Structure 1
Amino acid sequence: MKKEIDIDVTSNGMWLDADITYAHVPGWLGNSTRDLKLSIIRPFPTEDKKYPVIVWFAGGGWMDVDYNIHLANLVEFAKKGFIIASVEYRDSNKINFPGQLTDAKAAIRFLRKNAEDFQIDTNKFIAMGESAGGHMASMLGVTNGVEKFDIGDNLEFSSDVQLSIPWYGVVDPLTAKQGSVTDDFDFVYRNLLGKEPEESPTLDDQANPLTYINKNTVPFLILHGEDDVVVPVKDGIALYDKLQSNQIESDLYILKNTGHMDIKFWQEDIRDIVVDFINKNI
């Protein structure tokens, strides 16, 4: 069979810039240096256009981080008109909190510095993540301008974000531990903080997004499963209530019959909710 056909261009192609080093941090027992990396999905540069960037943080209980694990899913957001930057951060075997947050802020400063290369609109940064990564997204959303968390290179560039979108994210480590249906993951909060959260209110408060909510807090879209046995949905509700009481633009979607890290979060309906919220608020 031989045919001649005309093809209409209805969608753009995507580049993958994989495993880019964004920072150097202490390595083995402080005696070496290791790289922190991120991967970027971006459209073919067919026109001189800048795009909002979704800075994504994967989950893993702060115990294991695979920053490339969701790239196949995140490409669907890229097709909606976003740059995707999926970021590695140190796990709690390597550093206690706030090391994870300082890593995230270093990644954002790197992206702003190199925005021209990656087609990024420097005024449109969205922090989004799941579970432990959702905690990261929340912490970024409430700590704009908190200088003590900006450590490392590129300090002349801002680490601020404009929106936060936590998916079933940890809020208060103490209430997450106490409210979980299972105690199988209780150890992750001790590993994150360096102490049991109930033994150190100061450390717990430092890692609790509720501590920082103020007039500089960005709009939040909170997604949480009704049947989450790992991170209690009531913590997502507490975050929403605190945002509302401070008159911060915020939406909370509770997904019925949905658990932790559920496939339902990757459905088109959720993508539409996320994209609509971003377009409304940025």
Structure 2
Amino acid sequence: MRKISARSAGIAASVVAVGLLLAGCAVPVDTTTPSADCTVPAAAAPAMGGGGGGGLPLSTTVAESDQSTSIVLDADDSPQAQCTGVELTEYSNVVFSEPVLDDGSTYLIRMDITVPQDVSGPVPVVVYIPGGGFIVSDRGGSIGNRSYLMEHGIAVAAIEYRTIGDGGTYRDGVADVKSAVRFLRANAADYGLDGDSIGLWGESAGAYLASMAGVTQGDESFDVGENLDVSSDVSAVVEEFGASDLTRIAADFDQETQDYYRETPDNFVTTYVLGAGTGETLFDDPVAAAAADPVTYIDGTEPPFLNYHGTNDTLISPSQTLLTHDALLAAGVPSTRYLVQGAGHGDLSFLGDPEGGRVWSTEAVLDPIVDFFVENL
């Protein structure tokens, strides 16, 4: 008898929920009625705790990084994005991949596909990849921001992916993103989607996976699972406050935080690259660290990128997105990076700042994302 695993039980209550953003829009469950109230209040995230990767350390300081190739964005006076209300069709709990986990169980990996109804012809679609510190992946995150994109005629497929909690590594996470793309392309007609117009949009850990999936197009080693007869290539990538060179994830931070990554074996970053229980850090295996760095794969064939980071991000150094952005530019790939003045790492309301994440749902931040996808999809 085949065992089915929906996800490792109990882990979600003990870890940080990173990248779960709120906006002025909400996806209605009733697909026959446009959304009436588009205001979503800020909500507290779970308390920070340990989990399979040893916790998520936060720095007390953030050093300024190079801004010469980026656009500094001050969103303090920008209004929250609002929805007018559109009719949507939502397909929930769609299984797009069935990998076998280390314990022999089969993980039914799911997505929720939401399609705006006021679009003529097949609808372009963006794969939303949530954050979660490589420990969890909640496809219900950032629902308001996703709604704002749907208001502009683009469907969203919110996915989950294998994490540390499932015994997964970054290679599994990237493979799951690519499996989601292949599923949508292979089944586009069933959902009214345009299989030739697919983009990626990731936050935090999801942004890292979006970057990796975007720069490894054509690398068959990451294409495993179902629907291998269709391509996992995408037309555009948006990554918000993601990582690149994981050995420098704390490069902009205080010494204590830098020492954590260098001296703490099996920290959450190391675990998602090397696997659990190695007794090492990424500094002990530079070859593996390089293989997990999106910059390693950039060769000029990548799709256009749009990158975001907050100047006051205390979880992932702002210079991380700069590494990817500058490497893309050097290779001749269209890339734009917004450095959001004073912004932190998404919605960190669990630290007592329930409004701090709302900068990420302003028109100043979301309108360029909408324009980017409209242009490239």
Residue 11 of structure 1: how far off its partner (Å): 6.1
Residue 147 of structure 1: how far off its partner (Å): 0.7
CA contact (8 A) 2:145 2:366 kept: no
In structure 2, C-alpha distance between the alignment counterparts of 1:16 and 1:258, rounded to whole Å: 32
Equivalent residue for 1:191, pick from 255, 268, 271 = 271
Aligned to 1:219: 304
Summarize the alignment of residues 50-61 of structure 1 with structure 2, pairs less than 5 Å apart: 50-61=122-133
Aligned to 1:14: 88
Aligned-partner residue type, residue 276 of structure 1: D
Equivalent residue for 1:123, pick from 196, 202, 210 = 196
Q: Deviations over 1:202-228 (max 9, x none)?
A: 111111110011121111100110111
Higher RCO, Cα 8 Å, sep 6+: 2
Matched, 1:136 2:209: yes
Aligned-partner residue type, residue 19 of structure 1: N
In structure 2, C-alpha distance between the alignment counterparts of 1:13 and 1:207, rounded to whole Å: 40
In structure 1, C-alpha distance between the alignment counterparts of 2:311 and 2:107, rounded to whole Å: 39
Unaligned segments of structure 2, at least 5 residues: 1-83, 262-266, 275-279, 347-356
SS in 2 for 1:98: helix
Aligned to 1:239: 324
CA contact (8 A) 2:252 2:317 kept: yes
Q: Deviations over 1:81-125 (max 9, x none)?
A: 101001110112321221110111111111111101122212211
- Is 263-272 or 49-58 further displaced after alignment? 263-272
Summarize the alignment of residues 200-219 of structure 1 with structure 2, pairs less than 5 Å apart: 200-219=285-304
Aligned to 1:277: 372
In structure 2, C-alpha distance between the alignment counterparts of 1:214 and 1:41, rounded to whole Å: 33
In structure 1, C-alpha distance between the alignment counterparts of 2:282 and 2:119, rounded to whole Å: 50
Aligned to 1:82: 154
In structure 1, C-alpha distance between the alignment counterparts of 2:105 and 2:210, rounded to whole Å: 29
In structure 2, C-alpha distance between the alignment counterparts of 1:225 and 1:120, rounded to whole Å: 33
In structure 1, C-alpha distance between the alignment counterparts of 2:226 and 2:323, rounded to whole Å: 35
Aligned-partner residue type, residue 118 of structure 1: Y
Residue 180 of structure 1: how far off its partner (Å): 4.0
Q: Call closer, same or farther: CA 1:257–1:14 in 2, change over 3 Å.
A: same
CA contact (8 A) 2:300 2:328 kept: no
In structure 2, C-alpha distance between the alignment counterparts of 1:25 and 1:49, rounded to whole Å: 33
Q: Deviations over 1:139-190 (max 9, x none)?
A: 1111111111000111001111111110001111111144444739842211
Aligned to 1:253: 338
SS in 2 for 1:25: coil
Aligned to 2:17: none
CA contact (8 A) 1:138 1:209 kept: yes
Summarize the alignment of residues 33-48 of structure 1 with structure 2, pairs less than 5 Å apart: 33-44=106-117, 48=120
Aligned-partner residue type, residue 189 of structure 1: V
CA RMSD of aligned residues (A): 1.9
Residue 69 of structure 1: how far off its partner (Å): 2.4
Residue 71 of structure 1: how far off its partner (Å): 2.5
Matched, 1:266 2:361: yes
CA contact (8 A) 1:177 1:189 kept: no
Percent identity between matched residues is 28
CA contact (8 A) 2:113 2:158 kept: yes
SS in 2 for 1:183: helix
In structure 2, C-alpha distance between the alignment counterparts of 1:144 and 1:12, rounded to whole Å: 34
Aligned to 1:4: none
CA contact (8 A) 2:177 2:210 kept: no
Equivalent residue for 1:229, pick from 305, 309, 314 = 314
Q: Deviations over 1:227-270 (max 9, x none)?
A: 11111111212221111111111111000011111321122222
Aligned-partner residue type, residue 130 of structure 2: A
Higher strand share: 1
Summarize the alignment of residues 62-101 of structure 1 with structure 2, pairs less than 5 Å apart: 62-93=134-165, 94-101=167-174
SS in 1 for 2:323: helix
Aligned-partner residue type, residue 88 of structure 2: M
What TM-score, normalized to structure 2? 0.68
Higher helix share: 1
